[in-house]
Structure 1
Amino acid sequence: MTAAVIGFAILILGLFLLIGKIIRVKTPAVQRLFLPSSIIGGFLLLALGPQVLGKFIGPENGLFTADMLTIWAGLPGLLISIVFATLFLGQELPKPKRAVELAGPQLSLGIALGSGQYVVAGILAVAILVPLLGAEPMVGALLEIGFEGGHGTAAGMRPTLEELGYSSGADIAIGIATVGVVGGIVIGIALINWAVRTGKTEIVTSNVEASIDEQKGLYAEDEQYPAGTLTSRPASVEPLSLHVAIVALAILIGWLILEGLKLIEQALWSDTIEIFAFVPLFPLAMLGGVAVQVMADKVGAGRLIDAQMMLRIQGLALDFLIIAALATLSLEAIGSNIGSFLILCTAGIALNVGLLLWLAPRIIPNYWFERGIGDFGQSMGVTATGLILMRIVDPDAESPAFEAFGYKQLVFEPFFGGGLVTAAAVPLIYQFGPWPLLIGMAVLFVVALVGGLVIYGSAAKEQRQKDKERQHASSSS
């Protein structure tokens, strides 16, 4: 396969990403769903490829060559390491204790959502999906991979799932992620309007609707948002090139960590259990990013790493990852596992909505809805979904929602939604069956619930009582 073929395949992805953006700008129905251009373009490529056009009209591969499809299928596994390596680069890294103190209730809610998805899916797997529908036991990990992890994690886990003989699992997870992104926005906005009508919100007091520019995904002409800060003079090295090189270093450090763990495992316990042999690179690339940031701060070079520039690199990788993953999605795999797919999606949505409405007001002392809706959005797909919902319900960032959410991410991301727990879940089920992971996640789920209620419940209850008294006094006057 030549470099020209690889380059042309990437050019086609870029073209359809642009077409997806044009459709977003020109189509009101798509705007209201807040669908990212990468998802729109990915669905177009899927329709024009072997899964749809090739099956019903021909030729066999649709409008694309077999080489292009092979390149697209391999891209997500590479790009996901870039996405995760940039998560903490350019960010201030507070001590875990301080982060927990600032966002403790948020962390309890986030862990309950993440571990709860494993619990619900695990129970469904052992009770229904495996014995009655003939699913693989590893199906119990797909809900968290798709919902909490999103398209990036689902695509990034494909090599591991294929190596363990469950290639259809990646397609199911990507399908779940798609439901999560769309459902997160649609259900999230419906919940916001319900909360406004019932007085659950403290900032927005009338039914909300995003502006036309927000729906189109554009900035207004008078809005100015810099893409990043130049931290080096271009005559020396292009600042974007510098940041890409830093990302490369982070990924290489992650690779060295993973290879070291594999060597230790081979030397000590590989005869009885193998976990790191099946763990993908991307969660270790995230740790590599943390290591690079810590080293840069230690030597006084932290100012050279710009957080906004890292977000642009992350966004570029994620857009191309999503469009490539959807372009090569196997509809046949989802169709042959439609029962498991629908049951997992329904159960996951019910869990996420239930925890938002029941747990969040009981552990978050103030602005519980403004703060909880961000975690709901993230638990349905990607962090961006949570940020969109928080921006709608708190447009001027008057509540501590964004700050608490950000600090919670620093503790939460290394484990769930593509972190170490997500990466290890599938190999653990493969090695030991569904029960050890299910029991472990059930214990963590109970700890998150009980701990949140015990530690933060009284303060939240006291605040709710004060809010009721204030509302009663206001209505009486």
Structure 2
Amino acid sequence: MFNLRTVLFAFVLLAILLLAGRYLKHKIRFFQRLYLPASIIAGVLALLLGPQVLGAIATSIGGEESLLAGGLFSENVRTVWSQAPGVFINIVFAALFLGETIPPPRDIWRKAAPQVVFGQTLAWGQYVVGILATLLILGPVFGANPIASCLIEIAFEGGHGTAGGMAETLNNLGYADGADLAIGLATVGIVSGIVLGTALADWGRRKGYVASINRNAIEPEEIPDLNVVAETPELRQQRARLLRNLLVDPLSINFGIVGMAIALGWLLLEALKWFESVTWGQTGFVVMPFVPLFPLALVGGIITQSILNRLGLGALVIRPMIQNIAGVALDVVVIAAIASISLRVIGGNLGVFLTLSILGILWNVLIFLWLAPRLFSQHWFEKGIGDMGQSMGVTATGILLLRMVDPDNSTGAFESFAYKQLFFEPIVGGGLFTAAAPALVNSWGLVPVLLLTGGLLIFWLVVGYVLMRQERRHSSATPV
């Protein structure tokens, strides 16, 4: 058992590791060229200094009684780290839409329909590829758990945060190895996304698909929001009136708003569990007990923002502060998740790990090269590469690649990418279906989930075909 003092020192060590990761990134040019976030470097450093690498080396030299046999970190500290991702990911998702402008769905669809289709196609295809790989290769050859079919979408589309947040769900479903494999796949996804994205950007320039490439693109840590509420003088005056004489730090208020979003998400989750228990749950088929809190925290954030707006308190939400709160939480998730990876598990499932890595990368790249030129009537490269980057790492990776090919936002790809998130994040990439998919596979089996995800993939491809036909008719009807 550990006490609050242990928790404090566990997070102090995480902060020191983050500083060390930033220092290494500043000093090592290779890390800079990969645009790796400092949190990933810090997580790998923690893994190397833990019992699996440093501890194993010390044990092989001095035996199990060696001073460093357990690495630099105590078992209690490592226990805190192992539990941190599932807790802090709720803060990240609760903050996702707080302080953002949420236009009517019809306006979003009109502005970003092809972008929504492309992102949904990538996401549902990752399930289809994963399930087919499990049916044809992973199950028969490696005896993999059927839930392995969900790992490409969890890790590639969801990133380290979602992979870490899903660890408890995977454990509860009897697939403890899945958590380590998901974190490893998320690392493969973000590195391959940046490397291949940069290579594709160079290829696109040579082929004439991209006008210019900015190699000095901003780093993921510096990426701004694309859809935030404008800080107008009126908004600042309204906020000043609301904060007058409160004697509360604005950061505390915004942290409280994030807490309210998480609380609403928890109430929604409990309500869904109760509803399931009195309806289809009585037949023995249950999903909600395995759904983690974070996708409902995202919904709670949207509801919280709507309530504040209706009460005239929306100005209390300071988006940069919300971003900082979420940024700290995400750093904790990434560092702690990577530090807690079991190298033994990945080594014992190397065939599964490599198969999912290769197939996930191939799907994302090939769909970008095949579908994007057909779906986007203009600037297909710029509009497609952002979604490809997101589908192999995190949203920041997608925006990073967008900055490489469109540094001045001359194509409008940034706005389309931002609006697409409102149709995207609540469902996949860490949304409700991402959270429920392992439980559905566990309860239904692979073939029914394949029919469901395959049907959704076909649906979005058909929607894309209709959009392409409409665009062609519009182009032919437009006088020259």
**TM-score greater than 0.5 by the shorter chain:** yes
Shift of 1:445: 0.8
Q: 2:310 aligns with which of 298, 314, 318?
A: 298
Q: Which residue of 2 aligns with 1:353?
A: 365
Q: Which residue of 1 aligns with 2:137?
A: 128
Secondary structure in 1 matching 2:378: coil
Q: 1:408 aligns with which of 410, 416, 420?
A: 420
Q: 2:152 aligns with which of 128, 143, 147?
A: 143
Shift of 1:452: 0.3
Q: Which residue of 2 aligns with 1:223?
A: none
- Do the aligned residues in 2 keep the contact of 1:254 with 1:288 (CA within 8 Å)? yes
- Do the aligned residues in 1 keep the contact of 2:144 with 2:352 (CA within 8 Å)? yes
Q: 2:127 aligns with which of 118, 127, 138?
A: 118
Q: 1:163 aligns with which of 166, 172, 176?
A: 172
Alignment of 1:213-362 (within 5 A): 214=218, 231=239, 232=243, 236-270=247-281, 271-362=283-374
| In structure 2, distance between residues paired with 1:156 and 1:326 | 12
Shift of 1:233: 5.3
| In structure 1, distance between residues paired with 2:430 and 2:102 | 19
User: Gapped runs of 5+ residues in structure 2?
Assistant: 60-67, 224-229
Shift of 1:217: 6.6
Moved over 6 A (4+): 215-219, 226-230, 460-464
- Do the aligned residues in 2 keep the contact of 1:193 with 1:208 (CA within 8 Å)? no
Report the residue type matching 1:23 in the other structure.
L
| In structure 2, distance between residues paired with 1:251 and 1:235 | 23
Report the residue type matching 1:34 in the other structure.
Y
**How big is each residue's C-alpha offset from its partner over 1:311-345, in whole Å with a ceiling of 9 and x where there is no partner?**
11111110111001011111111111111111111
1:420 to 2:432 alignment: yes
- Do the aligned residues in 1 keep the contact of 2:155 with 2:183 (CA within 8 Å)? yes
Q: Which residue of 2 aligns with 1:222?
A: none
- Do the aligned residues in 1 keep the contact of 2:220 with 2:400 (CA within 8 Å)? no
| In structure 1, distance between residues paired with 2:472 and 2:82 | 48
| In structure 2, distance between residues paired with 1:200 and 1:235 | 55
- Do the aligned residues in 2 keep the contact of 1:34 with 1:185 (CA within 8 Å)? yes
Shift of 1:227: 12
Q: Which residue of 2 aligns with 1:37?
A: 38
| In structure 2, distance between residues paired with 1:5 and 1:68 | 6
Secondary structure in 1 matching 2:51: coil
**How big is each residue's C-alpha offset from its partner over 1:157-186, in whole Å with a ceiling of 9 and x where there is no partner?**
000000111111011011110011111111
| In structure 2, distance between residues paired with 1:216 and 1:100 | 27
| In structure 2, distance between residues paired with 1:455 and 1:77 | 39
Report the residue type matching 1:287 in the other structure.
V
Q: 2:201 aligns with which of 192, 197, 205?
A: 192
Shift of 1:307: 2.2
Secondary structure in 2 matching 1:347: helix
Shift of 1:136: 0.1
Q: 2:91 aligns with which of 77, 82, 88?
A: 82
Report the residue type matching 2:270 in the other structure.
E
Q: 1:209 aligns with which of 201, 210, 215?
A: 215
- Do the aligned residues in 2 keep the contact of 1:38 with 1:323 (CA within 8 Å)? yes
Shift of 1:234: 8.7
From the superposition, tell whether residues 3 and 405 of structure 1 become closer, same or farther in structure 2 (CA, over 3 Å).
Answer: same
| In structure 2, distance between residues paired with 1:140 and 1:403 | 32
- Do the aligned residues in 2 keep the contact of 1:145 with 1:173 (CA within 8 Å)? yes
Q: Which residue of 1 aligns with 2:227?
A: none
1:54 to 2:77 alignment: no
RMSD over aligned Cα atoms: 2.2
Report the residue type matching 1:371 in the other structure.
K
Q: Which residue of 2 aligns with 1:472?
A: none
Shift of 1:218: 7.5
| In structure 2, distance between residues paired with 1:306 and 1:299 | 16
Shift of 1:236: 2.4
- Do the aligned residues in 2 keep the contact of 1:155 with 1:174 (CA within 8 Å)? yes
- Do the aligned residues in 2 keep the contact of 1:25 with 1:217 (CA within 8 Å)? no
Aligned residues: percent identity? 46
Q: Which residue of 2 aligns with 1:7?
A: 8
Shift of 1:52: 1.1
Query: Number of residue pairs matched?
Result: 455
| In structure 2, distance between residues paired with 1:80 and 1:71 | 15
| In structure 2, distance between residues paired with 1:175 and 1:457 | 41
Q: Which moved more, 1:306-315 or 1:18-27?
A: 306-315
From the superposition, tell whether residues 126 and 181 of structure 1 become closer, same or farther in structure 2 (CA, over 3 Å).
Answer: same
- Do the aligned residues in 2 keep the contact of 1:181 with 1:380 (CA within 8 Å)? yes
Q: Which residue of 2 aligns with 1:475?
A: none
Report the residue type matching 1:10 in the other structure.
F
After TM superposition, the score normalised by the length of structure 1 is 0.91
Shift of 1:463: 6.8
- Do the aligned residues in 1 keep the contact of 2:18 with 2:39 (CA within 8 Å)? yes
| In structure 1, distance between residues paired with 2:110 and 2:318 | 26
| In structure 1, distance between residues paired with 2:116 and 2:25 | 34
Report the residue type matching 1:278 in the other structure.
F
From the superposition, tell whether residues 386 and 303 of structure 1 become closer, same or farther in structure 2 (CA, over 3 Å).
Answer: same
Shift of 1:436: 1.6
After TM superposition, the score normalised by the length of structure 2 is 0.91
Shift of 1:367: 1.3
Q: Which residue of 2 aligns with 1:99?
A: 108
From the superposition, tell whether residues 159 and 443 of structure 1 become closer, same or farther in structure 2 (CA, over 3 Å).
Answer: same
